Chain A
Amino acid sequence: MPLELLDSPDLDENKREGLWTLNFGPQHPATHTTLRLVLQLDGEMVIDAEPDIGFLHSGFEKLGEVLDFNQYVTIVDRMNYVSPMANEIAWHHAVEKLLGIELTPRCKYIRTIFAELMRLHDHLLCLGTCVLDLGGATAFMYAFNERETIYEICERASGQRFHTSYTRVGGLLYDVTDDWVKMVKDFVRNFPRVYRDFSGMVMKNRIFVERTRDVGVLSREEAIAGGATGPTARASGVARDLRRDEPYLAYDDFDFDVCASQGGDCYARFQVRMMEMVESVKIIEQALDKLPKGPVFAGDAGKAGMPDKKEVYRSIEGLIHHFESVMPNRQMAGPKESIYAATESPNGELGYYIVGDGSFRAYRARTRPPSVLHFALFSKLIRGCMLSDVAAVLGSINIIAAELDR
Chain B
Amino acid sequence: MANETTDSKPTEIETVKSRLVELLPGVALEWSEFRGQTRVVFASGELLRCLNAFKAAGFDQLTDLTAVDLLEYGNVDDRFEVVYCLLNVDSGLRLIAKTHLNEPDLTIPSATSVWFGADWLEREVYDMYGIIFAGHPNFKRLLLPDDFQSFPLRKDYPVKGRGERHNFPIVTRAES
Residues in chain A within 8 A of chain B (CB atoms): 53-54, 57, 59, 61-63, 65-66, 97-98, 100, 224-229, 238, 240, 244-247, 252, 335, 337-340, 342, 349, 351, 353, 355, 357, 363-364, 366, 368, 372-373, 375-376, 405-406
Instruction: Report yes or no: B92 in contact with A246, Cβ–Cβ below 8 A.
Output: yes
Can you show 11 pairs from A to B with CB atoms below 8 A apart? Answer: A53-B142, A61-B153, A335-B34, A339-B37, A340-B94, A355-B68, A355-B73, A357-B72, A357-B74, A364-B69, A376-B120
Q: Is the CB of B121 within 8 A of A372?
A: yes
Contact (A373, B142) CB under 8 Å given A66-B159, A355-B68: no
Question: Are B34 and A337 touching (Cβ within 8 A)?
Answer: yes
CB-CB contacts below 8 Å: B34-88 with A: 34-35, 37, 39, 60-64, 66, 68-69, 72-74, 83, 85
Q: Which of B1, B66, B144 contacts A54 (CB 8 A)?
A: B144
Scan B107-125; emit 1 where CB is below 8 A from any A CB, else 0: 0000000011101110010
Residues of B within 8 A of A351 (CB): 63-64, 85
In contact, A366 and B66 (Cβ under 8 angstroms): yes
Of A98, A225, A247, A340, which one neighbours B96 at CB under 8 angstroms?
A: A340
Residue from A228, A340, A357 within 8 A of B64 (CB atoms): A340
Whether B61 lies near A224 (C-beta < 8 A) is yes
Which of B66, B120, B143, B159 interacts with A373 by CB under 8 Å?
B120
B34, A240: Cβ atoms closer than 8 Å: no
Residues of B near A225 (CB, < 8 A) are: 60-61, 115-117
> Which listed residue, A247, A337, A355, touches B2 by the CB 8 Å rule?
A247
Chain B, residue nearest A364 (CB):
B68
Q: By the criterion CB–CB under 8 Å, are A252 and B68 in contact? A: no
* B130 on the A face (CB < 8 A): no
CB-CB under 8 A from A59, the residues of chain B are 152, 159
A339 and B153: CB pair below 8 A?
no
Give the distance to chain B from A82, nearest Cβ to Cβ, in Å: 20
**Interchain CB contact under 8 A, A353 and B66:** yes
Interface contact A62-B120, CB-CB below 8 Å: no
Considering only CB atoms, which chain B residue lies closest to A100 in the complex?
B35
Complex Cα gap A227–B172 (Å): 41
A62 touches B34 (CB 8 A): no
- A217 CB, min distance to chain B CBs, angstroms: 17
Flag if A366 contacts B143 (CB, 8 Å): no
The 10 closest A-B pairs by CB, nearest first: A227-B117, A54-B143, A376-B120, A368-B64, A226-B117, A57-B143, A366-B66, A364-B68, A245-B92, A337-B34
* B89 touches A (CB below 8 Å): yes
How far, in whole Å, are A364 and B67 apart by their CA atoms in the complex?
A: 9
Contacts of A335 in B (CB 8 A): 34
Interface centre among B72, B117, B145 (most CB of A within 10 A): B117
- Smallest CB gap from B74: residue in A: A357
Q: Are B119 and A368 in contact (CB under 8 A)?
A: no
Question: A227–B115 contact, CB under 8 A?
Answer: yes
A406-B2 Cα distance, complex, nearest whole Å: 33
Q: Residue B35 contacts which of A97, A353, A406 (CB distance < 8 angstroms)?
A: A97
B143 touches A224 (CB 8 A): no
Do residues B73 and A373 form an inter-chain contact, with CB atoms below 8 A?
no
Residues of A with C-beta under 8 A to B142: 53-54
Complex contacts, B121 vs chain A, CB 8 Å: 227, 372-373
Given contacts A97-B35, A368-B85, contact A405 B143 (CB under 8 A): yes
Q: Please tell me if the beta carbons of A353 and B64 are within 8 angstroms of each other in the complex.
A: yes
Task: Give the docked Cα–Cα distance between A371 and B152 (Å).
Answer: 22
Residues of A within 8 A of B72 (CB): 357, 363
Cα–Cα, bound, A79→B72 (Å): 27
The residue on B at minimum CB distance from A335 is B34
A248 to B, closest residue via Cβ: B2
Name the CB-closest residue of A to B127.
A54
B113 to chain A, nearest CB (A): 11
Residues of B104-158 whose CB lies within 8 A of A = 115-117, 119-121, 124, 128, 141-145, 152-153
Q: Do B144 and A340 have beta carbons less than 8 Å apart?
A: no
Residues of B1-58 whose CB lies within 8 A of A: 1-2, 5, 34-35, 37, 39
Q: Which residue of B lies closest to A228 (CB)?
A: B117
CB distance from B108 to the nearest CB of A (A): 18
A227 & B34 in contact (Cβ 8 Å cutoff): no
Least CB distance from B72 to A in Å reads: 8
Which residue on chain A has the smallest CB distance to residue B117? A227
How far does the alpha carbon of A368 sit from the alpha carbon of B85 in the complex, in Å? 10
Kindly identify which residue among A226, A252, A339 contacts B1, using a CB–CB cutoff of 8 Å: A252
Give the docked Cα–Cα distance between A98 and B120 (Å). 27
Pairwise interchain contact A227-B92, C-beta atoms closer than 8 A: no
B147 to chain A, nearest CB (A): 13
Bound-state CA distance A264–B25 (Å) is: 40
Q: How far is the CA of A273 from the CA of B161 in the complex (A)?
A: 41
Q: A100-B35, A240-B92, A373-B120 are in contact. Are A227 and B61 (CB under 8 A)?
A: yes
Q: Which residues of B contact A376 (CB under 8 A)?
A: 117, 119-120
What's the Cα separation between A225 and B88 when bound, in Å?
A: 11
Chain A residue contacts of B60, Cβ below 8 A: 224-225
B122 nearest CB across to chain A (Å): 11
Residue of A nearest to B123 (CB): A376
Contacting residue for B116 out of A62, A226, A240, A368, CB 8 A: A226
